[in-house]
Amino acid sequence: MPESGAQRRASWLEELEARPKAELHLHLRGAIPREFLSDRVRRYPPAQALESAPPNQLARLRRQPAIARILAASDPAEELDGLFRFDSLDQFLAAYFFTVFFVREIDDFRGLVIGLREHLLAQNITYAEVTVSIPEYLQQGLPLEGILEVLGEDPPARPKVRWIVDLVRNYGPDAAERLLERLLPLLPPTVAGLTLGGAEHLYPPQQFERVYALAREAGLGTTVHAGEALGPESVWHALDTLRVERIGHGVRAIEDPSLVSHLAEREIPLEICPTSNVRTGVYRSMEAHPVRELYEAGVPMSISTDDPTFFGISLAEELAGLRSLGFTTGEIDGLASGAFAFAFDAEAAA
């Protein structure tokens, strides 16, 4: 019997799953294993875990119904599903931030990294650049030296992990600069780059000019979350003021045709995370996502999952999903293998 369309799609997904892949935009806590989180919310009762939060943060977190339910539950692990449902980027960011309160010891941090490696291995992701939101762990009282020791471990076996330090824009540009100055002399060779995650609309890229000048001088690869919450002007600032080499998301560049041409001509890669953009409400549906238009305009891109535990997606599924947007299997193959070429650590990715 000839293969049906569904069978062909299934075997092609299996093929995508089996092949060696690179992922360049993936947050460490975004890949937190569900069982690990369940275990930690039982170990560290949420109401107590949140006691260390400054009052304004606590109020913001409590306003999220899913978090309020977890705080009120007799078994908080039973209420975790709600954390992975959100209608907006702000709601998602609150849910994401909430999880840091359950990383209380260096051993918890190490547990995240072990979980990440298992996640990568299970998906045949042989090279990953993983974003680690350092100030959030420092706020939890973890010692910087301990964090850097874990990040510096570089087992010879694949997956090869290179770290992208996220200075988290919500702490503001002065704190970001001070932290980077403190970090630079201590960074292990496994740290390949710098980014800013968090609320782009509250802390737009241009506020961080000095931070990026420092990072560039120190030889770090540079990227920034831009063109996700804000439009093309934010991507222009990322390019002209921060002079980044890649853009995290960048998808709202589509709103300015001259910017789209610029990205294509200068060959600036976008780290595109389609499911993330739909789940956080940047686009109302996958059909409304501009990834195809950007691709046709010649903008270089890699495809990533951003926060796979929160968005419930694997890299192979993310790639396969592009079929419904008009990508051919050959084009998707090209995107999957092309990601290695945009790595900050070209040697490690080879």
Q: If binding is defined by CB under 5 A, does position 200 make contact with Zn ion?
A: no
Q: Measured between alpha carbons, how far is 291 from 108 in angstroms, rounded to an integer?
A: 36
Interhelix angle for 34-43 vs 106-122, to 10°? Answer: 160
Do the beta carbons of residue 129 and residue 163 sit within 8 Å? yes
Q: Which does 198 bind (CB under 5 to 8 A by kind): ligand ADE, Zn ion, none?
A: ligand ADE
Structure tokens at 39: 């275990």
CB closer to Zn ion, 140 vs 304: 304
What is the chain's length? 350
**Residue of closest CB approach to ligand ADE:** 197
Binding-site size, Zn ion (CB under 5 A): 1
- Active-site hit among 136, 228, 271, 318: 228
State the minimum distance, in angstroms, from the CB of residue 197 to ligand ADE: 3
**Residue of closest CB approach to Zn ion:** 306
Cα 64 from chain centre: 22
State the minimum distance, in angstroms, from the CB of residue 20 to ligand ADE: 25
Structure tokens at 146: 């301990």
Residues making contact with ligand ADE (CB under 6 A): 27, 30, 96, 197-198, 225, 228, 276, 306-307
Q: If binding is defined by CB under 5 A, does position 79 make contact with Zn ion?
A: no
Q: If binding is defined by CB under 5 A, does position 23 make contact with Zn ion?
A: no
From 212, 292, 203, select the one nearest 254 (Cα to Cα): 292
Determine whether 228 is an active site residue.
yes
Residues 294-323 that bind Zn ion (CB under 5 A): 306
φ, ψ for residue 221, nearest 5 deg: -65, 150
CB closer to ligand ADE, 48 vs 285: 285
230 CB contacts (<8 Å, ≥6 apart)?
200, 201, 204, 252
State the minimum distance, in angstroms, from the CB of residue 136 to ligand ADE: 10
Q: Which residues are catalytic?
A: 228
Sites of contact with Zn ion (CB under 5 A)? 306
